[in-house]
């Protein structure tokens, strides 16, 4: 956990995470143009740790997670779980930040609407609480404004497992008085959240659930690994199908959260963009899926070493690429904005097509303010590389837009002031501090 610079957060929202420091600054001032050299420790994955924390609701026994990222989303979910009656114990050691959760008692009526509204992943509480307690009532989840982000697949799957679900004035009321039962479920799209939600529910449901067209993101594999360590019976039968034998009495588990592949891809871009050299510990190129070869084509060289990878700019320099976001192993939508920041300074033209979320180009206007040449037509952003970006005052609109603007600020001439830091804090454990350790000039300060 990085402690040199405090994170922005509302202290009243994060009482279950004592490692948060009170808010001391809500903007970053980045003086760009420095080449970055050093070692950047990749944290545990944001999108793995959240479902892993929720999995503790399925068992009365202790679940210990190591390598937990000290991010605002973790703090918010920890607070939600604590208010549901889950005991939490934090510690810090050689495995990073660790969290032990004890859900020997769950009080399903006590879901905090304001907290749920802050994060999309809170919808995962629905499947877990319903399976454990037979009823759950939850406000519709919030999260980044990057598209419609329906939860119809989640609800249809839970209904197929026997749940009665009603939606009223922004509230989801679900009950399964006789318990959930196994079902044959076909996801219309390999949704990450729906796969996780239905997996969590199916583990406690009576009988066999077959889940077709599942998401194959590595974070799902991490969740399956932890659930199996708790005694769940989950078989990957191939072709995007999971078979779950439910109704097993789960034990506790000790699990290490997988490395954050999005942070890894983002910082690899930072090394190439600034023409530096950054050692990325605990990483492997395979985690990037199709983004690995495309980043290589764009001029991001990744050299394997014993502890992970070294990222630097390829000798031929940065070059434009065409990419379309897809479910894993396709190009991750969460890397689209950071990679677009890289492409703003690449030789030639790039076509960046966002096929997962409808509104994930809100970083484009901000990059343009810094001198980027980008035109959006429908779901494609056409990027023509420029020789230099100039620092500007910009605002982050979601977690990945924030990371993209940090990258642009590192490469730009002059000073970039980044507002909207809650977005950066939601998804990253001390990104600014870790970049400073590699030579970046970044100061966190209070907006004036």
Q: Segment contacting ligand EPU (CB under 6 A): 191-199, 299-307, 375-383, 440-448?
A: 191-199
- In whole angstroms, the minimum distance from the beta carbon of 214 to ligand EPU comes to 11
Instruction: Please give the structure tokens belonging to residue 387.
Output: 């020789």
- In whole angstroms, the minimum distance from the beta carbon of 357 to ligand EPU comes to 5
- In whole angstroms, the minimum distance from the beta carbon of 62 to ligand EPU comes to 24
CA end-to-end span of the chain: 28
* 193 touches ligand EPU (CB under 6 A): yes
Nearest residue (CB) to ligand EPU, 108 versus 289: 289
Sheet holding 349-353, edge to edge: 322-324, 349-353, 380-384, 373-377
> For ligand EPU, which residue of 67, 79, 191, 344 counts as binding (CB under 6 A)?
191
- In whole angstroms, the minimum distance from the beta carbon of 400 to ligand EPU comes to 5
* 379 touches ligand EPU (CB under 6 A): no
The residue at minimum Cβ distance from ligand EPU is: 193
* 266 touches ligand EPU (CB under 6 A): no
* 86 touches ligand EPU (CB under 6 A): no
Nearest residue (CB) to ligand EPU, 61 versus 379: 379
Helices (H) and strands (E) in the chain, counts: 14, 23
Instruction: Please give the structure tokens belonging to residue 389.
Output: 């970006």
Q: Give the closest residue to 189 by CA, choosing from 230, 233, 157.
A: 157
Residue-by-residue DSSP string for 93-118:
ETTEEEEEEE-SS--TT---HHHHTT
* 154 touches ligand EPU (CB under 6 A): yes
What gap in Å lies between CA 265 and CA 324, rounded to an integer? 16
> For ligand EPU, which residue of 334, 366, 422, 429 counts as binding (CB under 6 A)?
334
Nearest residue (CB) to ligand EPU, 32 versus 69: 69
User: Binding to ligand EPU (CB under 6 A): which residues in 350-369?
Assistant: 356-357
368 neighbors 374 (Cβ within 8 angstroms): yes
CA distances from 400 to 286, 335, 360, 436 (A): 21, 7, 9, 19
What gap in Å lies between CA 30 and CA 197, rounded to an integer? 39
Contacts of 74 by beta carbon, 8 Å cutoff, 6+ apart = 17, 46, 49, 50, 53, 68
* 429 touches ligand EPU (CB under 6 A): no
* 400 touches ligand EPU (CB under 6 A): yes
* 151 touches ligand EPU (CB under 6 A): yes
- In whole angstroms, the minimum distance from the beta carbon of 196 to ligand EPU comes to 7
Strand runs labelled E in 277-432: 277-281, 300-305, 308-313, 322-324, 349-353, 373-377, 380-384, 393-395, 415-419
DSSP letter at 412 equals S
**Contact mark string toward ligand EPU, 114..133, x via CB under 6 A:** ------xx------------
* 161 touches ligand EPU (CB under 6 A): no
> For ligand EPU, which residue of 147, 304, 317, 348 counts as binding (CB under 6 A)?
147
* 192 touches ligand EPU (CB under 6 A): yes
DSSP letter at 319 equals B
Q: Segment contacting ligand EPU (CB under 6 A): 2-10, 147-155, 166-174, 296-304?
A: 147-155
Residues of the shown chain interacting with ligand EPU in the complex, contacts defined by CB under 6 A: 46-47, 50, 120-121, 144, 147-154, 189, 191-194, 215, 217, 333-334, 356-357, 399-400, 427
């Amino acid at each position: 956990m990085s402690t040199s610079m405090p994170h922005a957060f509302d202290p009243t929202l994060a009482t279950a995470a004592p490692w948060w420091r009170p808010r001391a600054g809500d903007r970053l001032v980045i003086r760009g143009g420095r080449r970055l050299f050093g070692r950047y420790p990749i944290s545990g994955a944001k999108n793995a740790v959240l479902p892993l924390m929720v999995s503790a609701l399925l068992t009365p026994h202790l679940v210990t997670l190591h390598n937990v990222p000290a991010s605002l989303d973790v703090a918010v979910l920890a607070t939600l779980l604590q208010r549901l009656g889950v005991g939490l114990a934090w510690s810090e050691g050689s495995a990073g930040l660790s969290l032990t959760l004890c859900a020997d008692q769950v009080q399903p009526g006590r879901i905090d609407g304001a907290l749920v509204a802050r994060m999309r992943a809170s919808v995962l509480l629905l499947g877990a609480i319903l399976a454990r307690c037979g009823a759950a009532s939850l406000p519709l989840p919030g999260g980044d404004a990057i598209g419609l982000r329906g939860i119809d697949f989640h609800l249809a799957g839970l209904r197929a497992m026997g749940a009665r679900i009603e939606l009223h004035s922004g509230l989801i009321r679900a009950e399964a008085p006789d318990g959930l039962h196994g079902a044959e479920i076909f996801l219309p799209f390999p949704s990450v959240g729906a796969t996780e939600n239905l997996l969590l529910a199916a583990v406690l449901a009576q009988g066999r659930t077959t889940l077709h067209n599942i998401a194959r993101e590595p974070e799902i594999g991490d969740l399956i690994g932890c659930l199996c360590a708790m005694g769940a019976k989950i078989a990957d039968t191939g072709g995007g199908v999971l078979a779950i034998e439910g109704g097993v009495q789960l034990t506790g588990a000790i699990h290490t959260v997988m490395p954050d592949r999005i942070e890894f891809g983002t910082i690899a871009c930072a090394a190439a963009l600034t023409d530096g050299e950054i050692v990325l510990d605990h990483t492997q190129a395979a985690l990037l899926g199709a983004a690995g070869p495309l980043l290589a084509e764009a001029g991001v060289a990744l050299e394997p070493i014993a502890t992970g990878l070294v990222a630097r700019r390829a000798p031929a320099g940065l070059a434009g690429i065409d990419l379309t976001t897809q479910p894993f192993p396709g190009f991750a939508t969460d890397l689209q904005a950071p990679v677009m920041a890289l492409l703003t300074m690449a030789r030639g033209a790039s076509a960046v097509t966002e096929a997962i979320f409808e509104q994930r180009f809100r970083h484009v206007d901000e990059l343009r303010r810094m001198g980027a040449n980008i035109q959006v037509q429908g779901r494609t952003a056409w990027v023509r590389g420029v020789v230099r970006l100039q620092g500007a005052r910009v605002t982050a609109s979601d977690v990945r837009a924030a990371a993209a603007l940090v990258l642009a600020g590192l490469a730009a001439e002059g000073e970039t002031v980044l507002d909207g830091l809650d977005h950066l804090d939601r998804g990253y454990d001390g990104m600014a501090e870790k970049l400073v350790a590699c030579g970046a000039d970044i100061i966190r300060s209070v907006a004036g």
